[in-house]
Amino acid sequence: MDTHLNSQQLEAIQHKSGPLLIIAGAGTGKTTVIVERIKWLISKGHASPQEILGLTFTEKASLEMQTRLDEVMPLGYTRMWIMTFHGFCESLLRENALDIGLDPQFKVLTQIDSVALLKKHFFEFDLDYYRPLGNPHKFLNAITTFFSRLCDEDVSPLEFTKWAANQEDQKYQELAKLRLQFQKIKEEKGVLDFGDLISYTLHLLEKRPKILETYRQKFKYILVDEFQDTNFAQIKLIKLLLDAGQNITVVADDDQAIYQWRGAATGNVVAFQKSFPKIKLVTLNQNYRSTQTILDNAHQLISFNNPDRLEIAAGIDKKLISQDKKAGPAIEVLSAQTASAEAEIVAAKIIDLNISFKDIAILVRANNHAELFIKSLENLGVPAQFLGPGKLFLQPEIKDLLALLRLINDPNDNTACYRVLKMSYWQIPGTELTQILAGSPASTVLKSAQDSHDKTVVRFVNLYQHALENIHVKSPGETLYVFLEESGMLKDMLDYKLPISETQAKNISKFFNKIKQFETENPDTSLSGLLEWIDLSLELGESPAAVLDSDWSLNDAVNILTYHSAKGLEFPVVFMVNLVTGRFPSLNRKDPIEVPVELIKEISPAGDPHIQEERRLFYVGMTRAKNQLFF
């Protein structure tokens, strides 16, 4: 066992049996405690690796926990059940699909896939309000999000239909009928969305007691990370799986609950504690990250969320104590009149700090707020890297390929034609490019370009004509691949002769994989169908994530990332920017279709839920800083 563990951590790790609630503040070694607890349970013979279930919320967290366990466990141990909630539910359903009438080979839909499926059948439904004549697809994303939120609250289609029947507002009856019809379509096609994974698992365990008992006996100990991010349905699943021993360990910090928009509720931690009168509560408040100055100011801020915080509800002391023993410098406030001025001031301050750039992070409120800071830093010769989540379909190298596909799909697409011909690979002189593109439709441009004196232009047109022929006999992915191969671009990419980075090459590879996946799942698709799916992804903001440099932490560059993306990370110096009304706190943008209050089963806070969540997000930002913090 790690000899550097403190008494609080040891108390949590060596809890033998019964329910355990670990309140783990920022920087208190939460992951270490979870890993060491699993190791202790196995080494002391309380459970075998296969008898432990560890649930997380993200693939990243699951992978980190598995990696840490591999490092501390002896060789030869069987891989444990460490996975996300959705991954666990998918495994259970595939093993027992036939017991509830599911196809074991069911496909899991992403949000984009779900919206696309609804859109495909939208005019088969009897709709009025939710299919306006002027913009019939206006509510597509809102509807699927609403259905997902109902799953979070464990509100079945039948329960919602019964509730809607007693409402005066006809819109709810329209939604209830649509949900039943859409559920039937998904069943016929053998597909489930993420909300269905939880709902069907609950249905399986409630309707098949023998199967439930099998899993209760299988898992002697259950551990849940980031418990503050759970929703009602997930908590119900956890409670169902518990056997008589109630060996459940949950790790939570209600002050870092920043996902209320996806159904997470801070009241769940308080409710969970009340569900187990004999629960053992261990508070970790020894902080190994930040200075006491940062921690004191963070605690002062988050205390404005009282009395809805666990510190008040449970009567515990959550004030973090720095183990650094140094107070550290005061938080410095920088002010500016405009967003561009703010970026310039921050960039200048970074130069003045005279420290390694990789030790600095700038936290922005949204992805599109990063560009100003990147430009200001570049103007001063300071390297910067945006840590995402970047959108794959919005990366320049992918936009070039998309432009080529759009031009093949529509020879009259002037915008696509311009982007393709302007690609650095062709090296067409600016004057030649201007003459070629002089205001004519793209199809006419390409036809006249055959007579160009520039051999590169003629070569491109010939390749393009071949692509137009290929698209009638080959898939979109094959057509694009052949174009890149015949043009020589593919070879130059592989040989790194093109001005292309390893990350860009990986993005292109990932793009081809996404096309291949789409074509496999939609064998009769056309190029226009593929582009429609990509456009829908961009419209919903659900583009696959771009490849992040795996060694980003080694790059000597200023790190720029969103407040949400920063959770779980730490940096010596942190700049919290965009601290203006409308951005932080943000405007309270409610869901287009809100879940009725009567159907929400979580405990609602006494204060303003939106402002409280904004404070928690601010608290997360503050506690990313180790030594110095700037507002």
Name the binding residues for ATP: 24-31
Contact 272, 21 (CB under 8 A): yes
Cα end-to-end distance, the chain, whole Å: 40
Q: Burial, 204: exposed, middle or buried (Cβ in 10 Å; 0-12, 13-18, 19+)? A: buried
State residue 294 phi and psi, 5-degree precision: -65, -45
* Cβ neighbours of residue 45 closer than 8 Å, sequence gap 6 or more: none
- 3-state class (DSSP) for residue 155: coil
CA distance 328 to 138: 52
Q: Could you tell me how many residues make up the chain?
A: 631
Contact 620, 568 (CB under 8 A): no
Q: Which amino acid, 400?
A: D
Rg of the chain, C-alpha, whole Å: 27
Q: Which amino acid, 121?
A: H
State residue 386 phi and psi, 5-degree precision: -90, 125
Q: Dig out the tokens for 113 from the structure.
A: 């896939």
Contact 286, 6 (CB under 8 A): yes
Q: Which DSSP letter does residue 548 get?
A: P
For 475-554, where are the alpha helices, taking DSSP H only? Answer: 476-487, 489-494, 502-521, 527-540
- 3-class DSSP string for 129-140: CCCCCCCCCCCH
Q: Dig out the tokens for 451 from the structure.
A: 């007579």
Alpha carbon of 198 to those of 84, 146, 182, 203, 234: distances in Å?
11, 15, 17, 9, 7
CA distance 493 to 501: 9
* Cβ neighbours of residue 590 closer than 8 Å, sequence gap 6 or more: none
Q: Dig out the tokens for 81 from the structure.
A: 């059940």
Contact 254, 266 (CB under 8 A): yes
Backbone torsion region of residue 439, taken as left when φ is above 0, otherwise alpha when ψ lies between -120 and 50, otherwise beta:
left
Q: Which residues carry a binding-site annotation?
A: 24-31
CA distance 69 to 52: 12
Q: Dig out the tokens for 244 from the structure.
A: 């008589």
CA dihedral sign of residues 497, 498, 501, 502: negative
**Of all helices (H) and strands (E), which one includes residue 159?**
helix 157-164
CA distance 379 to 372: 11
Please state, as a whole number, how many other Cβ atoms lie within 10 Å of the Cβ of residue 435. 14
CA distance 1 to 12: 13
CA dihedral sign of residues 285, 286, 289, 293: positive
User: Tokens 């949204």, residue?
Assistant: 366
Q: Which amino acid, 101?
A: G
- 3-state class (DSSP) for residue 221: strand
User: Tokens 């932490």, residue?
Assistant: 553
CA distance 270 to 99: 35
